[in-house]
Amino acid sequence: MWGNETEITEFILLGFGELHDLQIFLFLVFLVIYILTMTANILTVVLIVIDQHLHTPMYFFLGNLSCLETFYSSTILHRMLASLLTGDKTISLKGCMTQLFFFAFLISTECYLLSVMSYDHFMAICKPLHYPTLMNGKLCIKLAAGSWINSILFTSIYLGVILKMQLCGSNEINHFYCDSLPLAKLSCSHLSLVKHITVIVSFVFTFPPFLLTLTSYIYIIATILSIPSSTGRQKAFSTCSSHLIVVSIFYGALIIVYLIPKTETMREVNKIFSVLYTVLPPP
């Protein structure tokens, strides 16, 4: 049960409220992004399912990532669009906690799926002779299922920590969705303990997939550089270049948003970087 000094039943998501004259423009921009994201990801999943030639580990994991991006868009953009169109920035306590749960669950799952995809690229480039045998259907299903299940475990513990915070009256969240850092600013008791526990839990569950991703690409780059022909290097790099871009943007944005010390200017900049991994679809 969430302890609070005053009875809080709803929050106010300030979002991009400082851009008063651009609300309709932002609504149209994010609506187009939402439609394109949903269309592209649904078509990707359908195509992978119906085309037998795409029943490979790479496209299996890509299908999982497309499903995740569909849920992402519905979790974040749905509420943002309503707020931009109607001007109603309120969200209920239950709605905020539900959004926070799905956000933490999906961002954690993306960490795991990106690491699994990097491992798949590592096997394809660094161990091509063993790839067909090792990356079989059963292993792919186990890796994908493990990504989703581990994220549920992480999110349950993570949300349990957040719910221990005690609020101090203010209900304004300086963000366009319910996130733990803006919520922590509303807490008045055990704030340092909550932050430390949150960091520890996040580290335990998200650092291993990040380390696997980093290690995989160190070996991948080393292998590509050792290929004698430039044509061979270009062909090998082309198989993982788009995934490397996604990984760089995803983790780069996370580092800026969650690890760089916050100033008033950085809090506004963080909203822009948050868009990179919550709203914009991967290239």
Q: Quote the pTM value.
A: 0.86
- Per-residue confidence (pLDDT) for residue 3, from 0 to 100: 46
Q: How far is residue 163's CA from residue 2's CA, in Å, rounded to a whole number?
A: 5
Low-confidence residues of the chain: pLDDT under 70: 1-7, 17-19, 168-169, 188-199, 201, 261-268, 280-283
- Judged by phi (left if over 0) then psi (alpha if -120 to 50, else beta), residue 40 lies in alpha
- Per-residue confidence (pLDDT) for residue 7, from 0 to 100: 61
What's the Cα-to-Cα distance from 172 to each of 113, 159, 167, rounded to whole Å? Answer: 33, 19, 11
Quick one: tokens of 117?
Answer: 């995809």
- The fold of 10-278 is Rhopdopsin 7-helix transmembrane proteins (1.20.1070)
Under DSSP, the state recorded for 266 is H
Q: How far is residue 213's CA from residue 29's CA, in Å, rounded to a whole number?
A: 32
- Per-residue confidence (pLDDT) for residue 193, from 0 to 100: 61
Neighbours of 144 (CB within 10 A): 21
Helix, strand or coil for residue 228?
Answer: coil
- Per-residue confidence (pLDDT) for residue 163, from 0 to 100: 78
Q: How far is residue 124's CA from residue 226's CA, in Å, rounded to a whole number?
A: 15
Among 154, 197, 158, smallest CA distance to 179 is for 158
Q: How far is residue 34's CA from residue 79's CA, in Å, rounded to a whole number?
A: 12
- Per-residue confidence (pLDDT) for residue 88, from 0 to 100: 83
Neighbours of 271 (CB within 10 A): 17
**pLDDT tens for residues 4-27?**
445 677 888 887 766 677 888 889
Q: What angle do CA 92, 95, 98 make, to 5 degrees?
A: 150
Residue whose structure tokens are 């001007």:
87
- Per-residue confidence (pLDDT) for residue 180, from 0 to 100: 77
Contact 54, 47 (CB under 8 A): yes
Quick one: tokens of 142?
Answer: 């186990």
Q: Give the ranges where the chain is alpha helix by DSSP (H).
A: 23-50, 57-86, 93-126, 131-134, 137-162, 180-184, 191-225, 230-238, 241-258, 264-278
Helix (H) or strand (E) run with residue 172 in it: strand 172-173
Contact 8, 97 (CB under 8 A): no
164 contacts: CB under 8 Å, gap ≥ 6: 2, 3, 190, 194
Contact 167, 8 (CB under 8 A): yes
Q: What angle do CA 24, 25, 29 make, to 5 degrees?
A: 115
**Cβ-defined contacts of 159-163 (< 8 Å, 24+):** 159/97, 159/100, 159/101, 159/104, 161/194, 161/197, 161/198, 161/201, 162/97, 162/100, 162/194, 162/198, 163/1, 163/2, 163/97
Q: How far is residue 271's CA from residue 283's CA, in Å, rounded to a whole number?
A: 20
**pLDDT tens for residues 84-120?**
888 888 888 888 888 888 888 988 899 999 999 999 9
